Chain A
């Protein structure tokens, strides 16, 4: 483990985690709304927003999967030191982090069971561009409709078709994040 892995966590965890959670909660309960978060400085290639989400939500009870380029020693060490989360393969992950191409196919991840749909994975998708434009969103949390720049539409439509099972998503770009719960109906614009 390099000394760099020991830095970049919350300086005041209870308060910073509380603020980060409220941003994450509002993002997931109002799809299409983009929040800016702060407090974590994780090693590349993890974005600040994804790092904040992990520090806020992951711990020793939540297996984390690192997909593609994100599965690197610096990041493994950082997550292990700051959260204690076990690093696992895709099917047993509670959280998965990576770029969209590396996370595919989504069928690898837990979607919950018909009687316990909450036992599903939350995917943190690192994107290059995050804006309230593009795909058309409707459903719980959205007044009429909203827009969000999604990497694709078909996979989210297939995920919605599994409701109440399915994965939930956070899209992260630098220090900004947006949420996309399984309940959202996604259509191409």
Chain B
């Protein structure tokens, strides 16, 4: 087996120590982006190289790993990362949120509430929330140092001036424990309230940008807003067409070329477990 030529969980020990030290400093300063020497991984940038490195540094043989991509367990990215760690770390894998000890996610927080002891690892494309407002790293670092976040409020204000509301619907900026403004990775703003006071440890890895940051359990995370335009966690105003859930985040699926569409839970495990206990939606197949 060629797999046994790799170290446990793929990365070498020196690299894992470096990542582990960065994770610990990230935990100590919630929301602060810790630089780390990101490695080339056997997948392209944008496919979760940061998340994979964080997961690799955290995994132990007793773990049960779940990987989701936009809420789904069965997409290419999720399946290949899950197989990667099955082969290189030999860990158990699962699709059930409650059974997993480590969950690597691309752009969603599972609907099922997480519990103490679980670790949620986010794949982050651009960790710097101010990057599209100020391209220079030297400047954004100074802005974080001085807590100078006026530019972010100007951006949200311009949203209101142009659209009548805050039009940012994903990667919605948050402030952590009243100190650092943080990019929660491109999760829908529907998920933002789940960032705060979460029982699980949340770790963020950005491979290409070489940054790791963290939210310890029960950290206070506030979505930026204005008194007269308070933050609203929006979703499509429908129920899931397969399980009938009214409170979950929905994907819109075009089903024909005549304007037909359906809305389904983005969290496949949540939807499937609801259907398994008998919940049905508008388009559920007839029972046989």
Q: Which residues of A contact B (CB under 8 A)?
A: 13-15, 17-19, 21-22, 24-26, 28-30, 56-59, 61-62, 94, 114-118, 120, 122, 139-143, 163-164, 168, 181-183
Q: Which residues of B contact A117 (CB under 8 A)?
A: 29, 32
Chain B neighbourhood of A22, CB < 8 A: 58, 60
* A-B interface, 7 closest residue pairs, ranked by CB to CB distance from nearest: A141-B216, A14-B8, A181-B28, A118-B25, A18-B60, A29-B216, A140-B219
| Chain A residues in 8 Å Cβ range of B251 | none
CB A55 to nearest CB in B, in angstroms, measures 10
A163-B179 in contact (CB<8A)? yes
Please determine whether B201 and A62 come into contact, CB atoms closer than 8 angstroms.
Answer: no
Which residues from A are CB-within-8-Å of B180?
A: 164
Taking a contact as CB atoms under 8 Å apart, the answer to whether B32 and A25 are in contact is no
Inter-subunit contact A115/B141 (CB<8 Å): yes
| Contact between A141 and B177, CB atoms less than 8 A apart | no
B201 engages A18 (CB within 8 Å): no
Q: Which residues of chain B (1-33) have a CB below 8 Å from chain A?
A: 7-9, 13-14, 16-18, 20-30, 32
- CA–CA, A106 and B59, complex, Å: 33
Set of chain A residues within 8 Å of B45, measured between Cβ atoms: none
Shortest Cβ gap from A89 to chain B (Å):
20
Complex formed: what's the CA distance from A123 to B227 in Å?
A: 42
B164 within 8 A of A: no
Look across to chain B and name the residue whose beta carbon is closest to the beta carbon of A138: B218
With A and B bound together, what is the CA distance between A86 and B58 in angstroms? 26
Are A29 and B60 in contact (CB-based, < 8 A)?
no
Q: Is B134 an interface residue (CB 8 A)?
A: no
Instruction: Say whether A182 contacts B24, CB under 8 Å.
Output: no
> Chain B interface (Cβ within 8 Å of chain A)?
7-9, 13-14, 16-18, 20-30, 32, 34-35, 57-62, 116-117, 141-142, 144-145, 177, 179-180, 199, 201, 214-220
Main SS at interface, chain B: mixed
Query: Please, which residues of chain B bring their CB within 8 A of the CB of A140?
Result: 30, 177, 215-220
| Chain A, Cβ-Cβ closest to B8 | A14
Q: Would A14 and B7 count as touching, CB distance under 8 A? A: yes
| Residue from B9, B117, B142, B216 in contact with A115 in the complex, judged by beta carbons closer than 8 Å | B142
Contacts of A181 in B (CB 8 A): 27-29, 216
CA of A17 to CA of B60, assembled, Å: 9
Which chain A residues lie closer than 8 Å to B201 at the CB level? 25-26, 29
- A sample of 18 cross-chain residue pairs with beta-carbon separation below 8 angstroms, ordered by A number, consists of A15-B8, A17-B17, A21-B20, A21-B58, A25-B23, A25-B201, A26-B201, A29-B217, A30-B216, A56-B17, A118-B26, A118-B32, A140-B220, A141-B217, A164-B29, A164-B179, A181-B27, A183-B29
Q: Report the nearest A residue to B138, measured CB to CB.
A: A115
Chain B nearest Cβ from A27, distance in angstroms = 10
A39 → chain B, closest Cβ, in Å?
A: 12
Q: How far is the CA of A152 from the CA of B141 in the complex (A)?
A: 34
